[in-house]
Structure 1
């Protein structure tokens, strides 16, 4: 193979394989791009191999594991970021093993690297009263305040991911009865989410004020900044943080300062669960691929756990566990359990 074999296949991976064969989203391409930018930086700085000289012969299971350690120790990346970078590298070497079978052993050794287990973070969400307090903060006498109310209302009512909100165009909304928003989710999956009447009314007034209900503006962004461009993820986070601070300044019941747009999604899911909505419907509402992902909300709800325990706990029918005080012989006690 030529010295540029790695560059050739990496280029094809990004220009042909990811968009043409896997049909991944732009965000996935950007994430993979960042991974290989970091990988090239690692080989240049730590192994003195410039990007234009990098070949498959420089790769091994050990070199990739050293890169992952470098991410954690030098770049201070968390375990989840480390695992995301590993997933991108594995995807590339799965592609290479098909294109160049002579590298099969190398590819298999890298693909077999295991992800690190990380502790699952506790789901942070707002209660119904806290969510109500947050939605009361935008100043509806102000033009931007009315936009922010529409944004926060839709973010909660649809349980959308923040990027899904940023990507919305006017065409994605249908406010005639029954009102629905069409969301472009992860992996190019599209789902339609029903909206409540109050949220639809807020959005309808917002669109009329901004003249977004005209036919010639159907493909314009639903939420935009002063330059007329789509609001960004950081822009939405900034708006949310502003109203959390405002709520904490006027109310003795403070909201957590760590609430993010994704926590609003969690809040909607938890409120649906508390209302008795079946997990299958919540899964479809959130756009989860597996019910196992949705079950984290049931596990995180202490009231649901308490209710389940109270229904099943009956002292009269519960089996009597042996008391170790009745049998000083520890081995006999353990066998009797």
Structure 2
């Protein structure tokens, strides 16, 4: 028979996150990974096997020790620690409505503070540095024209690398006003205007690869030799080279 923790965790990940809240697969995977690590912590550090782990084992002290374990034993950053805490807090915030007798214990866990971390200074490129960066690709070659278009699109949209990788032809509007529909975390889409230069590059690039033809709406804008969308690593390599 499943423990109370196992039963509630299953409902939280499947019914609550996936069903009621409609979280993305990436978000659910992140939450799932957090609880996998929590289970490993109890097994390895407290000698409590998964099949015996119950809600009574989860209190503010145990969760704090788990967070410290992430940083000391697994060498996680403060940012990763805070992400794990956010997932655990979400679970206990929801659990208050499932078992009110545990509200006090849940609220003790919800009171655990996130770890403060220094905010890195954000360095911006000057106009001249940006101009030189965008001029780097060799536009006499097909890969160079792709790279020039990719960099210009990245500059205009300020997209994350994964957001750029996920762009499909249907996300690009070249008719005035030209824009890109960029979908980010939580499947939230923002519409970003494109400059005339980027619009010109995209129009030529899509035509060169026959992506301006009917039936290509779901094709990735930036793709590899197998016509699969570029990976985050592939885009990072283009940016750095």
TM-score, scaled relative to structure 2:
0.94
Quote the Cα distance in structure 1 between the aligned partners of 2:51 and 2:169: 45
1:223 aligns with 2:225: no
Output aligned runs, 1:118-197, within 5 Å: 118-197=117-196
Is the 8 Å Cα contact of residues 3 and 53 (structure 1) preserved in structure 2? no
Which residue number in structure 1 is paired with residue 3 of structure 2? 4
Which contiguous aligned blocks of 4+ residues in structure 1 show a shift greater than 3 angstroms?
none
Quote the Cα distance in structure 2 between the aligned partners of 1:217 and 1:97: 48
Comparing 137-146 with 189-198, greater Cα deviation is found at 137-146
Is the 8 Å Cα contact of residues 139 and 145 (structure 1) preserved in structure 2? yes
Measured after TM superposition, the shift of residue 69 of structure 1 is 0.5
- Cα deviation per residue 1:126-161 (whole Å; 9 max; x = unaligned)? 221111111111121222221111111100011122
1:221–1:52 Cα change, 3 Å: farther
Which residue number in structure 2 is paired with residue 322 of structure 1? none
Which residue number in structure 1 is paired with residue 12 of structure 2? 13
Q: Report SS of the residue matched to 2:215.
A: helix
1:93 aligns with 2:57: no
The size of the alignment, in residue pairs, is 241
Quote the Cα distance in structure 2 between the aligned partners of 1:3 and 1:178: 57
Any gaps of 5 or more consecutive residues in structure 1?
243-337
Any gaps of 5 or more consecutive residues in structure 2?
none
Is the 8 Å Cα contact of residues 97 and 107 (structure 1) preserved in structure 2? yes
Measured after TM superposition, the shift of residue 3 of structure 1 is 4.8
TM-score, scaled relative to structure 1:
0.68
Output aligned runs, 1:37-48, within 5 Å: 37-48=36-47
Output aligned runs, 1:1-337, within 5 Å: 3-242=2-241
Q: Report SS of the residue matched to 1:70.
A: helix
Quote the Cα distance in structure 2 between the aligned partners of 1:33 and 1:232: 23
Quote the Cα distance in structure 2 between the aligned partners of 1:23 and 1:136: 42
Q: Report SS of the residue matched to 1:160.
A: coil
- Cα deviation per residue 1:96-154 (whole Å; 9 max; x = unaligned)? 11112222222111111111121111112222111111111112122222111111110
Measured after TM superposition, the shift of residue 230 of structure 1 is 2.0
Comparing 27-36 with 61-70, greater Cα deviation is found at 27-36
Q: CA RMSD in A?
A: 1.5
Quote the Cα distance in structure 1 between the aligned partners of 2:164 and 2:74: 31
Measured after TM superposition, the shift of residue 53 of structure 1 is 2.5
